[in-house]
Structure 1
Amino acid sequence: HRMERYLNTLGTIALIGPLLGLLGTVIGLIRMFMDVMKGGVGDPMKMAGGIGEALICTASGLVVAIPAYVLHRYFRSKVAGYCVEMEKQATELLDELTVNQSQAARARAPGRPAAESSAS
């Protein structure tokens, strides 16, 4: 679980980044339309400012989200691979311990309990 500690945070950043960019886009467009309502369509600078703000917000959200999503997928697959490898190693260890225990049981004299064989 320690390896997965920050994966949820990274996944959340990857998910929310585009949404925050979209929110900025909507706010920029709302400002642009409010300026157009106040002064009419005659001043293209009023429209350009709102559109520029919207595009900057969209680009910023994507610049954050895309690498975060790629890293999230990469680290999630690495953690899954580590978990599979640890399970394999644990199974091999249990198999080895079982074989050693079976060999120790066979090495004891037949018909004598373990306490008697160690007392001799």
Structure 2
Amino acid sequence: MLSIIQAAGWPIWPLILCSVAALALVIERGVALRRAQVAPPGLVDEVLQVLRQGVPSSDVLNKLSANSTLGALLSAGIRLVAQDPRCSETLLRDGFEAAGRSAAHQLERYLNALATIASAAPLLGLLGTVIGMIEIFGSQSPGSSGANPAQLAHGISVALYNTAFGLMVAIPSLMCHRYFRGRVNDYLHDMEQGAERVLHHLLRMERSSGSKR
């Protein structure tokens, strides 16, 4: 591996940094976007079961908020009803939407950086290719006494290795970015559906409590 890096020349070092950064981002997003940490199965049903017994206490809402991203979204809407039982539908829906935007921002964190690496890596490989071609043409300059095989071989190595390494960094980065983007979209859809169910239940609770009064 070290011999390949030496043969590729200095243009490969930015690609190595990109590969390390991409690997770190993939690992971080892979851990952060686990189902249990974002939207655990059955959480909405558990919340609805608790709400049937009334608005939960602040301690229960704090535990729900710390449970997952979906839990934080649902607890934000339930807190509005806990603070103001006569909260309007518009205010309640705005509260859920604000919490949803915050959750979406959290889920999409670092995805732009991963996409940037996937786009920049081929360009860095192309830069290395151009530098290698310059060295090749330099070895064939009219002022030189014949071709320099060592310089010619080094130029070819720089050109080919950087192109290959750039694609090796870009392709997995792009695939991981598309994969994580799809997971985020699925999570956001599930969270939207869960928030809508809880919202309708809270509105029914308000109507029933209002009719009793």
Q: Quick check: TM above 0.5?
A: yes
Which among 48, 56, 61 is matched to residue 166 of structure 2?
61
Identity %: 47
Give the SS at the match of 1:5.
coil
- Cα 1:79–1:39 shift into 2, 3 Å: farther
| TM-score, with length taken from structure 2 | 0.47
Work out whether residues 14 and 65 of structure 1, in 8 Å CA contact, stay in contact via their aligned partners in 2: yes
Task: Report the equivalent of 2:181.
Answer: 76
Deviations 1:57-110 (A, max 9, x none): 00111111111100011111111111111111111110111112222233x2xx
Following TM superposition, by how much is the alpha carbon of 1:46 offset from its aligned partner in structure 2, in angstroms?
3.4
Task: Report the equivalent of 2:115.
Answer: 11
Which among 25, 35, 39 is matched to residue 129 of structure 2?
25
Work out whether residues 36 and 46 of structure 1, in 8 Å CA contact, stay in contact via their aligned partners in 2: no
Instruction: Give the letter for the 2:120 counterpart.
Output: I
Instruction: Give the letter for the 1:82 counterpart.
Output: Y
Give the SS at the match of 1:2.
helix
Instruction: Give the letter for the 2:207 counterpart.
Output: S
1:40 matched to 2:146? The reply is: yes
4+ residue runs over 4 A deviation? none
Following TM superposition, by how much is the alpha carbon of 1:40 offset from its aligned partner in structure 2, in angstroms?
3.4
Instruction: Give the letter for the 1:99 counterpart.
Output: R
Instruction: Give the letter for the 1:40 counterpart.
Output: G
Following TM superposition, by how much is the alpha carbon of 1:39 offset from its aligned partner in structure 2, in angstroms?
3.9
Work out whether residues 135 and 151 of structure 2, in 8 Å CA contact, stay in contact via their aligned partners in 1: no
Task: Report the equivalent of 1:102.
Answer: 207
Give the SS at the match of 2:109.
coil
Following TM superposition, by how much is the alpha carbon of 1:45 offset from its aligned partner in structure 2, in angstroms?
4.3
| TM-score, with length taken from structure 1 | 0.81
Task: Report the equivalent of 2:154.
Answer: 49
Which among 101, 106, 110 is matched to residue 2 of structure 1?
106
Aligned-residue Cα RMSD (Å) equals 1.5
Instruction: Give the letter for the 1:33 counterpart.
Output: F
Instruction: Give the number of equivalent residue pairs.
Output: 107
Gaps of 5+ in 2: 1-104
Gaps of 5+ in 1: 109-113, 115-120
Deviations 1:8-44 (A, max 9, x none): 1100000000000000000001011101113434x54
